[in-house]
Amino acid sequence: MNPSTALVPSLIDLSGTRSRVLAVLAGAGFVALLAQVALPLPFTPVPVTLQTLGVLLVGAALGSRLGAQALGLYLAAGAAGLPVFAGGGAGVAWLLGPTGGYLLGFAFAAWLAGALVERFDSGRRPIAAFLAMLTASAAIYAFGLAGLAGWTLLAGKPVSLPGLLALGFYPFALGDLLKAGLAAALLPAAWKGLGRSGRI
């Protein structure tokens, strides 16, 4: 993999420890900021948020390694009590609750988005970027639905597969499709703009 095909490492020298730490902090902060845009739904314990858009953008922009580290920091900060989860949530209980699987899937999804960008240079091409974002979103759902199924089982309220999808997939699928499309549009546009400015 060539890390230079991720946007931020192509723009900024991340060879130094300080610059990498700042990039990771910025990525975690960006996701935490978007997580505050949350809309609870009355029929599911999983809210609609913008944090998944942040996960996709951070992973694709920072690359696989730094993207995963940024989301790992985000999760650690939330578990430690900082109000960075959806709607200002915090604490280990969030990682063990109905949204815990989605949260734990963020680090892998950020890594995957970055890895696909690095491997296929998909950040520069809208269709390839869209496929990369969809793949990373699917990873979040895989973790999220598994965690939600486990949570309902431990709560003594197991649900069928259709019921699980009604709680944790169907209400969010269209929104996540739009978020993947937005991320896929922003990345090539950023590359194009930087190319015109002579920054890369």
> DSSP character for 12?
S
Residue numbers of the domain that contains 167: 3-197
Is the alpha carbon torsion for 112, 114, 119, 122 positive or negative?
positive
Closest to 133 in 3D by CA, of 186, 180, 187, 65: 180
By three-state DSSP, how is residue 138 classified?
helix
Residue 138's pLDDT is what? 98
The average pLDDT across 104-121 equals 94
Residue 3's pLDDT is what? 44
> pLDDT, tens digit, for every residue of 142-159?
999 999 999 999 999 999
Residue 11's pLDDT is what? 77
> pLDDT, tens digit, for every residue of 122-144?
678 889 999 999 999 999 999 99
CATH number of the domain encompassing residue 28: 1.10.1760.20
Query: Residue 14: which pLDDT band, with cuts at 50, 70 and 90?
Result: confident
Domains in the chain, number: 1
pTM for the structure as a whole: 0.92
Alpha-carbon gap, residue 88 to 82, rounded angstroms:
8
